Amino acid sequence: MPKKRSTKTDGKASKQLNKKPKAKKPLTHAQLKKKVDEWFSKYVRWREADAKGYCDCITCGKTHHVTKLYAGHFVSRRYGVHRWEPDNVRPQCVACNIFAQGEQYIFGQAIEREKRGRAEELMRTKDTPRKYTAGELRNLFEHYRTLALRIAQEKDVMPRR
């Protein structure tokens, strides 16, 4: 006995045609912080780079391409008040930032050479409580993304895909 063919078009394709596009969920607070971290890191590393995309580690002085460097923090990122403070963050190689726990003393001396009294001020104010709203995080994300892309275009330091 032959199978009867259905006259309904209830296959997968027709169901997908009738679906409404899902509204994008707003990013969570943690997701926004991650995006700000990403673009702030690029901004810090690209800001210090030369025209070919190389810069020196602030603590050991070795030269690396920006894609091989980290955004090292003098005052730890856990202190929110200075997490995205440009004076607090410089490019660092993996050896100094990860394996040598940031070389904070040498890092502080380098900041002092650039701006007298700034390292002491950063340490003194690190315990100031600071919570960012979602709107502030969105603004920081856009700000550092814009700056980083402008610098990357000028210096041709964008990573190749």
Which position has the token pair 């410089």? 90
Question: 41, 71 in Cβ contact below 8 A?
Answer: yes
Q: Which residues lie closer than 8 Å to 102 by C-beta, 6 or more apart?
A: 59, 72, 73, 74, 92, 96
**156 pLDDT higher than 90:** no
Backbone phi, then psi, for 65, in 5-degree steps? -75, 150
Per-residue confidence (pLDDT) for residue 122, from 0 to 100:
96
Question: 109, 4 in Cβ contact below 8 A?
Answer: no
Percent of the chain with pLDDT over 90: 75
For residues 50-77, average pLDDT: 94
Please return the burial class of 10, using the count of CB atoms within 10 Å of its CB with bins 0-12, 13-18 and 19+: exposed
Q: Which residues lie closer than 8 Å to 129 by C-beta, 6 or more apart?
A: 80, 81
**36 pLDDT higher than 50:** yes
Question: 87, 134 in Cβ contact below 8 A?
Answer: no
Per-residue confidence (pLDDT) for residue 82, from 0 to 100:
95
Per-residue confidence (pLDDT) for residue 25, from 0 to 100:
87
* pLDDT higher at 14 or 115: 115
Which position has the token pair 């901004």? 43
For residues 55-74, average pLDDT: 95
**161 pLDDT higher than 50:** no
**In this structure, are strands 70-73 and 89-92 parallel, antiparallel, or unpaired?**
antiparallel
- Which pLDDT tens digit goes with each residue over 99-147? 999 999 999 999 999 999 999 999 999 999 999 999 999 999 999 999 9
